[in-house]
Structure 1
Amino acid sequence: MRRPTSMSEKRNICGSRLTTACAVMGVCISSNLQASGFAVPELSATGIGTANALVANPVDRGAVPYNPAALAFHDESWLSVGSLLIGPEFSVDTANGSGDSAGANWLAAPMLQGAIKLNERWSAGFSVNAPFGLETRWKTNTFAPLSGSIPLPPPPHGPGGSVPASPQPTQSSLEILDVVPTLTYALSDELAVAVGADLYWVKSAKLNSSITQLEGDGTGLGFNLSALYAKGPFSAGINFHSSTTINVEGSYSVLNPTLLLIGALQPSQTAELDLDLPWRLQLGVRYAFTPALAVEVDWTRNGWNTFEAIQVTGDLNGAILFEDRNDWEDANAYRLGVTYQLQEQTQLRFGYAYDETPQGDAYFSARVPDNDRHLFGIGVGHRLGDGWQIEAGYMYVKFEERKYRSATLYLGDAEINGTDAIDGDYEANAHLIGLAVSRSFDAF
């Protein structure tokens, strides 16, 4: 491939690649504080209280989103409406000083579940949740090697002034909703299986940087399979969600017209990318030591190896605008949940989980400053009578500090991931609150 021979040619190529890199990464990546990568496994208020250890639970309504096969063990139809509130806090110390993400104080996601008992063998269910995404807002000049400007030739040979040496990411956000219809069949009194679909909708994906903006949305389709065995005080469950590719289509626009005049940026246009979501496998066992006390242990495997690269295509000429490498690895999570029936109407919940990060040092990204983390949950459920039930859960998420130092020099090229441009000490934590109200109805 021919190399650029002049300084202006180098500048144009570098500016175009850098801006596109910043823009497209903002569409599909957000910093997440609850699970490995940018996953959000909290699907119910019950799950928040038990640190998501519910895949083997045949009793509680809030366990159904984690294992739809549990519907076979419920004698009633019911509907649950709730919300997940997330308060993230994360910061980085770099050569430019200390920087905090200026994201929204609290973010909200839906938690909606329902069950219909069709007959003694068949049940239908659905849920709506937000299994992926969050938001980051880094201030300009957080990272020193990405700061600065390039002087432009003065008139009459150029427009004069200067342009940013590299795009400064400001806001990156991603909202994904998953609508999950399922069908459950009881093979026997002790064993049930379920099959369902994952209807993903990228409700909002956007980036604001110092010089560009990209917004988009899209849809994708996957499937899920689950099974649950329960006999006496013992139960065991399995749940699998397939990997999914979501086609994201959006509009790419340039905020600095000077960069268009000097040819440093691609013109505003529509573009698209394929966002690969990981497969998820959950296994769990639960044992009721007494009528009041039950303990569950779960293992989760997230197939992040599907998240290898991001490739964005412009619609003007079909050319690949940018290809970014992530090269993540599959990651495990280990969960412990405890439920205690304090009274006939009131249940207490406790949980702890340890989630591994899929992100190594080779392609570490400041947009997803991920690391291993600890999750602590507590919650309560209370039956009010006449089929009504209220639930609440609180979770604290603590990241292990990540002191990232790279031996790969940042040379002003498009590849920022894994370079010393984003060296720093990263810290993060989050507060999660789940609230839900449900009501049961007479079965068939």
Structure 2
Amino acid sequence: MYRTLSTTARLALVGIPLAFAAQPGAKASGFALPEHSAAGIGTTNALVANPDDPGAFAYNPAAMGFHDSSSIAVGTLFIGPSFQVTNSTGTHESQGVDWIGVPMIQGALKVNDRWRLGLGVNAPFGLETRWKTGTFPALTDELALGPIRIPLSPQPLQSKLEVLSVVPTATYRVNDQLSLSAGVDYYWAKSAVLDSSVANLEGDGDGWGYNLSFLFKRDALSIGGSFHSAATIAIDGDYEALSQALVFLGGLLPSQSAELDLNLPWRLQLGARYAFTDRLAVEVDWSRIGWSEFDKIRIETKNGGQLIQEDINDWSDANAYRLGLTYQWRPTTVLRLGYTYDETGQGDDHFSARVPDSDRHLFGIGLGQDLGHGWALDVGYMYVLFEDRDYRSTTPYTPGSADINGTDAINGDYEASAHLFGLEIRRTF
């Protein structure tokens, strides 16, 4: 009997149907943020096959091989999310910050006619959701311990994940038509916060991956591809239980160190671009994110490795289909347009209020202006429309289980949209 109660208590202790997951600020499926340049925002990230625009370096470092100058670009992506759920307790909006700012930095150094070195800094993954207490109805099934009654399914409150990446790359120009690139991805989770109605967890950590890319150009046609490997960030954090009864049942301390592995997915993008005239070019891209890597979250005590929680995510790999258009309006001014249909990798079996993900439509517009004397300015705007998700649990509920799935606690109509604005200044020398 004690073992059953201890397992239930441990599962309820942290209370995360999914620890690190999507939020209204993330603009790709799951919690990925693929927006790495202002030019990419204007084309909804359809830049992997563009040999002409320096804004493509962050998407495909092999593009540096087709540029004869060095450059440095510095900018910021601003994200303004709007997100709400309508359920049995009413209509509720997420209480996250109104605007989120993330960096966009990309440097390119010409070493000689063959070699280029690159360095990028961006935020490829992130999340923030905050739900007020009482947003989701409490379950009627509770654990009774004499006069004490403990809800078996904790309610999500705040989730926050900030991941920065530093991406050094080396590019080799094989010939006039082909360029190849390789590099490493260093990920730093500078902030990871998990709060629920029964426990809090906060920590940070880092991890490594690698990237490969190519770009081929012949006459008006160019074909490009970029791959970022899967990676694991080891998170070390501080755990604090808010329920003394659950601490007793789980055999854990009220406050202690905890650790978990955050598995980041691999990312693949392939594209083809065709310049119909000297002014007009169109690019079509296909992206795929390996969310099957994000199969589970296992949280353990740092000293002793005692299980605190293990959650099965069971996500699927997801696709995005991108269309980008560039038009040289004036000799010093380029216009950009884009549209993307982005699929979610999250099914109903492991849906979470921390992960109210859905398919979405991205609409982008942007402008690039040559300011003279080696200076240029890029601006981009994107509107993201999430398809409404009317979630109704399909998983049979097991009495006494701590799993919030299979209950009506997170049933509801989820709606979201977001505005993105990117501003970037570039110096070529």
Paired position in structure 2 for 1:86: 79
Of 21, 28, 49, the match for 1:29: 21
The Cα offsets for residues 19-74 of structure 1, whole Å up to 9 and x where unpaired, read as 2233x944x33424411111111111000000000000001111011100000011
The Cα offsets for residues 322-366 of structure 1, whole Å up to 9 and x where unpaired, read as 110011111110000001111111111000000011011111111
Higher mean displacement: 95-104 or 56-65: 95-104
How many angstroms apart in 2 are the aligned matches of 1:45 and 1:132?
A: 17
Find out whether 1:128 has 2:121 as its counterpart.
Answer: yes
Give the secondary-structure state (helix, strand or coil) at the position aligned to 2:330: coil
Of 8, 14, 19, the match for 2:8: 14
The Cα offsets for residues 80-100 of structure 1, whole Å up to 9 and x where unpaired, read as 000010011111111222111
Paired position in structure 2 for 1:105: 98
Paired position in structure 1 for 2:157: 170
How many angstroms apart in 1 are the aligned matches of 2:382 and 2:357?
A: 18
Paired position in structure 1 for 2:69: 76
Find out whether 1:67 has 2:53 as its counterpart.
Answer: no
Find out whether 1:382 has 2:382 as its counterpart.
Answer: no
How many angstroms apart in 2 are the aligned matches of 1:304 and 1:350?
A: 28
Percent of matched pairs sharing the same residue = 55
How many angstroms apart in 2 are the aligned matches of 1:409 and 1:83?
A: 45
Paired position in structure 2 for 1:232: 219
How many angstroms apart in 2 are the aligned matches of 1:146 and 1:30?
A: 24
Task: Letter of the 1:131 partner, please give it.
Answer: P
Give the secondary-structure state (helix, strand or coil) at the position aligned to 1:19: helix
Higher mean displacement: 95-104 or 68-77: 95-104
Task: Letter of the 2:385 partner, please give it.
Answer: K
- CA deviation after TM superposition for structure 1 residue 269, in Å: 1.2
Q: Contact 1:18–1:414 at 8 Å: present in 2 too?
A: yes
Unaligned 5+ segments in structure 1 are 155-159
- CA deviation after TM superposition for structure 1 residue 418, in Å: 5.3
How many angstroms apart in 2 are the aligned matches of 1:65 and 1:316?
A: 40
Give the secondary-structure state (helix, strand or coil) at the position aligned to 2:49: coil
Paired position in structure 2 for 1:391: 378
Q: Contact 1:410–1:419 at 8 Å: present in 2 too?
A: no
How many angstroms apart in 1 are the aligned matches of 2:69 and 2:195?
A: 48
Q: How many residues align?
A: 426
How many angstroms apart in 2 are the aligned matches of 1:37 and 1:418?
A: 21
Q: Contact 1:176–1:202 at 8 Å: present in 2 too?
A: yes
Task: Letter of the 2:426 partner, please give it.
Answer: S
Q: Contact 2:233–2:262 at 8 Å: present in 1 too?
A: yes
Task: Letter of the 2:91 partner, please give it.
Answer: S
Find out whether 1:367 has 2:360 as its counterpart.
Answer: no
Paired position in structure 2 for 1:406: 393
Task: Letter of the 2:160 partner, please give it.
Answer: S
Give the secondary-structure state (helix, strand or coil) at the position aligned to 2:210: strand
CA shift in 2, pair 1:340/1:181, >3 Å: same
Q: Contact 1:409–1:420 at 8 Å: present in 2 too?
A: no
Give the secondary-structure state (helix, strand or coil) at the position aligned to 1:82: strand
CA shift in 2, pair 1:218/1:84, >3 Å: same
Task: Letter of the 1:16 partner, please give it.
Answer: R
Q: Contact 1:147–1:166 at 8 Å: present in 2 too?
A: no
- CA deviation after TM superposition for structure 1 residue 209, in Å: 2.5
Q: Contact 2:232–2:261 at 8 Å: present in 1 too?
A: yes
The Cα offsets for residues 283-332 of structure 1, whole Å up to 9 and x where unpaired, read as 10001111111100000011111111111111243122211001111111
- CA deviation after TM superposition for structure 1 residue 253, in Å: 1.1
Of 239, 257, 275, the match for 1:252: 239
How many angstroms apart in 1 are the aligned matches of 2:186 and 2:285?
A: 25
Task: Letter of the 1:172 partner, please give it.
Answer: S
How many angstroms apart in 2 are the aligned matches of 1:72 and 1:128?
A: 19
Paired position in structure 2 for 1:266: 252
- CA deviation after TM superposition for structure 1 residue 422, in Å: 1.4
How many angstroms apart in 2 are the aligned matches of 1:418 and 1:63?
A: 44
TM-score by length of 2: 0.94
Paired position in structure 1 for 2:410: 422
Q: Contact 2:94–2:130 at 8 Å: present in 1 too?
A: yes
Q: How does 1:212-231 map to 2 (within 5 A)?
A: 212-231=199-218
- CA deviation after TM superposition for structure 1 residue 376, in Å: 0.3
CA shift in 2, pair 1:306/1:256, >3 Å: same
Task: Letter of the 1:348 partner, please give it.
Answer: L
- CA deviation after TM superposition for structure 1 residue 417, in Å: 3.7
Paired position in structure 2 for 1:183: 170
Give the secondary-structure state (helix, strand or coil) at the position aligned to 1:144: coil
Task: Letter of the 2:252 partner, please give it.
Answer: Q
Unaligned 5+ segments in structure 2 are none
Q: How does 1:347-366 map to 2 (within 5 A)?
A: 347-366=334-353
CA shift in 2, pair 1:411/1:376, >3 Å: farther
CA shift in 2, pair 1:323/1:257, >3 Å: closer
